[in-house]
Structure 1
Amino acid sequence: MTDASGQDPGEADQPDVPLTRRDAAEARRSVPAAAEPTAAFQAHVRAARSEFESQVAHARAEFEEANERIKERTGRDLLLATVIGLAIGAVLILSLIFVKWAFVVFALGAALLGIFEFSRALVASGRRVDLVPQLVVATGLILTAAFLDLWLHWVALFVAVAFVVVWRLVAQMAAHDARRYGDVLSDVLVASLIQLYVAFLASMCVVLLRQDGGEWWVLAFIIVAVASDTGAYAAGIMFGRHPMAPRISPKKTWEGFAGAVVAAMIAGVLLGLFMLGIPWWTGVIFGIVILVTATAGDLGESMIKRDLGIKDMSSWLPGHGGVLDRLDSILPSATGALALYYLFTPLVA
């Protein structure tokens, strides 16, 4: 029987609840089946993340352990030294490539900081150093290197040394103390050494910079000096067994020096061919000369520090020591690079 609407009364009165419950039950039964792939994927992601974190932690622990071994052997923090070295290198390269004369400011600042470190170390060892005159005279010597002819620059060096020597003698006479003759003579020699070792050698770099294409020669000799230092460091860490100069620098080895020779020669040839435009054999000579001057500068500063009883000139550059500790191989190499410029440029032309 149907009502006026054409529906069975029993059907009209039947509630929808049982059907809804049935659907809900089926939905609940279907949820685990659909969620199983998602749950498995999430578990896989968590496991992968845990494994990755474990590998990162393991690699970090191994790196820190290796860094501590290197630090114990060389006295340097490898990570900090690398970061600071890259930052300094970036500033140096940018100044030379894009604004040539901006390098003069860079060189002047580094030289003055080196003089300050050196003077402070000398004062701590009992010498008397007139810091302000040293800085003023060094500034004049470095800046005039950009304008004076080379022979006039030698005259400027003589004036600078004479000025600091006379200043020290006058200051000593004004002191009216009982300082011995030998100590006064030592103070005078030290005053001259600061100008000759730091200011004059830094000014040679400025003299090279002012030459035609000099910025590329400056960049090249610094890269070779850094390459030789890096080669010596790496080879010394891996193969170093036989000390090179135990009384001067106990951690330098002949194996490290061999690594420096290889690195310097490779860098010299590549830079000579692709940056300086000189034949490959002159690149070999360039690399060897810079290697010799850089090694001599490094050993020379080590001898000075040993005489002063210090490990580093300062701690301004973590992982490196002081500014002068980074300039020790570069300062004498500037003179060697300038001599090679005068020698090779006519051959290339």
Structure 2
Amino acid sequence: MASDIVFVIALMIIVSLAWSVLAVPRLRKRLPKIYLIARSWWLMLAALCTCYVIAKITNDTQGSHSQGYPYQWLLILFFILIGLRGSYEIKRLWCLRSKTVLIHKLQAQGLQPSTPLLAKTSLNSTQHYTRLNSLDLLLGIAFISLIISLIVLQQLTWQREQHGVLLFVLFASQFNDIAQYLCGRLLGRKLFKRGLAPTISPNKSIEGAIFGSLVAAILATVLGLWLTPFDWWVCLLAAYGLAVSGIFGDLLESAFKRQHGVKDTGTMLAGHGGVLDRIDSLLIGVPVFTLLYWLLG
């Protein structure tokens, strides 16, 4: 069995076990948010892994010398659906009435502080859309670039028979989210009193960014040696680059949300927020990696 399929199966087993443990009534009551995060993780991974495994199904196109992948369109469709949902979340914040509805929904779920003045202004305004500024355009361009890059990267890795590279890129960025959170909880404000970006994301610490990116890079390097044909130093460089760029992508999306006065871009993924909240760490690193992989691969 191919190493990437083994990784996908092992990952689903681990996440399923974690979700099952957290679903125990006593733990679910004590850690409700962690339970919701684990459930959302499971749903997203189940969709991604199912599409990935089906996309790997081959058929012989020219005897035994050439194989085609007739179902790889399913993985492309998955990325397109993420693009459509993320675009909807961005557009919803540009539309004043839609943003007000989202704010009320977040408030009803206890995810958004009460902002009656903002909601009242939005509902009574004769303007339907906010005036776009440079930050809105930057996030929109970054998101479109991400979706295009994911599709291009999938095509490149399938053509080069280096399928594990796609998984390496995706999970190197996701490892960084988890590592930053854990390192931030353990070490936050112990070495540096100032936060990483207090005006944009007050909860992010410098310790979490530094040590989280290092831990994520090491874990992703091990994964890269297993899934990719790259040398160890290439895996380490790529993993660290994806980790650091993930921080900037997260801050970009946080600045976008703060500008529009919302805590999350949606409620689709309980514990995470919207799709855009879940993939913000990919916004910068994946397009850059895809370009380098295309030029240098």
Q: Displacement of 1:60 after TM fit?
A: 5.8
Alignment of 1:181-260 (within 5 A): 186-187=131-132, 193=138, 195-211=140-156, 212-213=160-161, 215-241=163-189, 242=193, 243-260=195-212
Tell me the C-alpha RMSD between the 2 structures.
Answer: 2.9
Cα distance in 1 between the residues matched to 2:97 and 2:138 = 15
Distance 2:133 2:247 in 1: 27
Residue-by-residue CA offset, 1:162-182 (whole Å, 9 max, x unaligned): xxxxxxxxxxxxxxxx98xxx
Contact 1:208–1:218 (CA under 8 A) maintained in structure 2 = yes
CA distance in 1, matches of 2:132, 2:187: 42
Cα displacement (A) at 1:344: 5.4
Q: Measure the CA separation in 1 of the matches of 2:46 and 2:98.
A: 38
Does the aligned pair in 2 maintain the 1:225–1:291 contact within 8 Å?
Answer: yes
| One-letter amino acid matched to 2:183 | A
Residue number in structure 1 paired with 2:242: 290
- 1:120 matched to 2:72? The reply is no
Aligned-partner SS, 1:339: helix
**Structure 2 equivalent of residue 87 of structure 1:** 43
CA 119–61 in structure 1, closer or farther in 2 if over 3 Å, else same: same
CA deviations 1:21-68 (Å, max 9, x no partner) are xxxxxxxxxxxxxxxxxxxxxxxxxxxxxxxxxxx9xx9657744x36
Question: What is the CA–CA distance in structure 2 between the aligned matches of 1:192 and 1:302, rounded to whole Å?
Answer: 15
- Between the aligned partners of 2:133 and 2:257, the Cα distance in structure 1 is 19
Say which of 27, 51, 75 aligns to 1:103: 75
Residues in 2 aligned to 1:282 and 1:205: alpha-carbon distance in whole angstroms? 20
What are the equivalent positions in structure 2 for 1:1-349 lying under 5 Å apart? Answer: 61=26, 64-65=29-30, 67=31, 77-99=33-55, 100-124=72-96, 186-187=131-132, 193=138, 195-211=140-156, 212-213=160-161, 215-241=163-189, 242=193, 243-342=195-294, 345=297
Q: Deviations over 1:189-240 (max 9, x none)?
A: 6885565132232101111111123642221111011101000111112222
* Residue type of the alignment partner of 1:105: L
RCO greater where, 1 or 2, for CA within 8 Å and sep 6 or more? 2
Greater percentage in helix: 1
Output the TM-score relative to the length of structure 1.
0.58
Match of 1:277, SS state, is coil
| C-alpha distance in structure 2 between counterparts of 1:296 and 1:322, whole Å | 18
Q: Could you tell me the TM-score, scaled by structure 2's length?
A: 0.67
d(CA) in 2 for partners of 1:126, 1:85: 27
Count of residue correspondences: 225
Q: 1:262 to 1:192 in 2, by over 3 A?
A: closer
Find the residue that maps to 1:329 and give its secondary structure: helix
Task: Evaluate the alpha carbon distance shift between residue 294 and residue 125 of structure 1 in structure 2; reply closer, same or farther with a 3 A threshold.
Answer: farther
Structure possessing the higher radius of gyration over alpha carbons: 1
Equivalent pair of 1:272/1:282 in contact (CA under 8 Å): no
Structure 1: where are the runs of 5+ without partners?
1-55, 69-76, 128-177
C-alpha distance in 1, partners of 2:26/2:49? 34
Inter-CA distance 268–324: structure 2 relative to 1 (3 Å threshold): same
Deviations 1:100-157 (A, max 9, x none): 3311111111111111111111112899xxxxxxxxxxxxxxxxxxxxxxxxxxxxxx
Matches of 2:201 and 2:136 in 1, distance apart? 25
| 1:336, distance to aligned residue in structure 2 (A) | 2.4
1:289-337 CA-to-partner distances (Å, cap 9, x unmatched) read: 1012211110000011111111111111110011111121123222122
Contact 2:149 2:287 in 1 (8 A): yes
